[in-house]
Structure 1
Amino acid sequence: MISGPRAIVLFATLLVLATAAAFGLSRLYATPRTLDLTPPPEYVAAPVPVTADLPAATPVSGQLVDQDWLERTARRTGIPTPALRAYADAQISRVGGCDIGWTTLAGIGWVESHHGTIDGRSLTVDGRSEPPIIGVALDGVGPVAAIRATPESTAWHGDPTWEHAVGPMQFLRSSWEPWAADGDRDGVMDPHDLDDAAATAARYLCASGHDLDSGTTWASAIHSYNHAQEYVDAVHAAATAYAQRAAR
């Protein structure tokens, strides 16, 4: 087991400082379309819970993050321990090949599925949502795009007509396959396993080849995950809140 609580908290603190400094710029982040991603005044991030009585966790096989840090930070942030383990291990392992903080992955995990607990689901000790998470049909109705299912993706979600994102980090099969990673090193790559999904998200976000340690590269990466300003704002708000609470 690798013990790295101080390094992780330091990175979380640096993320807060870097993103706070970036918000002082008139042109906050550069993307291919040069968007102004400053959160609008009326924007209010979804609340991030703080749970004081999370049960203690037993280290799992292959875990990289220090157990004391894991339990302490889970209590401070309210992130379920299996989810926090997945995010922290993805950072420590550098599975994506770039510097990406656990807070960034936690911000995405919160926005996508409340760390696998959305709609009253429970998260098992090995990082699986019960029941599994299947996203809405991407049928072109309302704000969603129209994406036809393939035989391969139908095997994931059961819909022969329309595509669905699956798992706690909400991957389409087409975006999963190029970046899939075995986050818990059990020999299986499964989008419903948060250890694998967090590691795969890290690989996807690092695909540009840049470290996510500046406002420009960070926002471009998050924007590639979901092409919406509101999404980048929400992930930024959650990631920053988690970094602040972890550093208390």
Structure 2
Amino acid sequence: MLVAVSGLGYLASQTLMARPPLVPGDLPAYVAAPVPARTTPSVAPGQPLGRPRVDPNWLARTATRTGIPPTALRAYAVAQLSDAGGCDVGWTTLAGVGWVESQHGTLGGRTLRPGGRSSTPILGPALDGRRFAAIRSTPGSQAWHGDPRWEHAVGPMQFLPGTWATWATDGDGDGRTSPLDLDDAAAATARYLCADGHDLTTGDGWAAAIFSYNHDQAYVDAVHAAAVTYAQRAG
């Protein structure tokens, strides 16, 4: 059972900034993600392959069609191709979460840098008991958000530091894990969504997985609409 709810950035984004509309068509029950083309790295026999490399032509074409920053799209595609979660999590699902949480790390006029970090860190509101549950920060979590009293969700996928401690994943193979790095956060999100054995190829399983990320049906609906829209745009 997941011990803390991630996805607090969804609620924060409703007051921080009005999001440009994504207009979905008819919404199917299951978001079937197109599989990105990829190149196979050339390595010596017996050596690890490393993380999958996404075909740059697919990346450029799909980023243009969907409006997703190429750095973010690469992170979502690599998380899918590397089977980070251990279940069928499509890149469009991760992109749906990334859009709702932080507009792929660009919330509030930020830019997403090539290394996967936003130009300034994305922090959720203080969990001080006023609008959200009261959660005290710790010396370890303070290092992520700087608040000595209250906890905050952090990064483009809005992980609580306590949740990140459980699901931290090195998505870009640099030997470090950070919720502020979208490569790592996308891979961790894939693991989180697969954690309870949900079958994301079914409508019920997909919805249950997203609901586990944020216990709010409006959140599930928003992620679904975004994911379907990206699937339609990608063609």
Instruction: Name the CA distance, whole Å, in 1 between partners of 2:56 and 2:22.
Output: 23
Instruction: Name the CA distance, whole Å, in 1 between partners of 2:95 and 2:20.
Output: 13
Instruction: Name the CA distance, whole Å, in 2 between partners of 1:130 and 1:173.
Output: 20
Q: Does 171-180 or 85-94 show the bigger shift?
A: 171-180
TM-score by length of 2: 0.78
How far is the alpha carbon of 1:177 from its aligned partner?
1.3
**Residue number in structure 2 paired with 1:146:** 134
One-letter amino acid of the counterpart of residue 222, structure 1: I
**Residue number in structure 1 paired with 2:22:** 48
- Confirm whether residue 182 of structure 1 aligns to residue 170 of structure 2: yes
CA RMSD across the alignment: 1.8
How far is the alpha carbon of 1:63 from its aligned partner?
5.2
Report sequence identity in percent.
Answer: 67
How far is the alpha carbon of 1:64 from its aligned partner?
2.0
One-letter amino acid of the counterpart of residue 205, structure 2: T
How far is the alpha carbon of 1:140 from its aligned partner?
1.7
Within a 5 Å distance, the mapping from 1:212-231 to structure 2 comes to 212-231=200-219
Within a 5 Å distance, the mapping from 1:63-78 to structure 2 comes to 64-78=53-67
TM-score by length of 1: 0.74
The answer as to whether partners of 2:51 and 2:78 remain within 8 angstroms in 1 is no
Instruction: Name the CA distance, whole Å, in 1 between partners of 2:209 and 2:136.
Output: 25
Instruction: Name the CA distance, whole Å, in 2 between partners of 1:63 and 1:72.
Output: 18
Within a 5 Å distance, the mapping from 1:1-248 to structure 2 comes to 47-48=21-22, 62=51, 64-142=53-131, 144-247=132-235
One-letter amino acid of the counterpart of residue 101, structure 1: G
Unaligned runs of 5+ in 2: 1-18, 24-38, 40-49
One-letter amino acid of the counterpart of residue 151, structure 1: P
Q: Which aligned segments of 4 or more residues in structure 1 are displaced greater than 4 angstroms?
A: none
How far is the alpha carbon of 1:151 from its aligned partner?
1.9
Deviation by residue 1:197-245 (Cα, 9 ceiling, x = unmatched): 0000000111012331111111111111111111001000000000010
Unaligned runs of 5+ in 1: 1-44, 50-58
The answer as to whether partners of 1:46 and 1:234 remain within 8 angstroms in 2 is no
Aligned residue pair count: 192
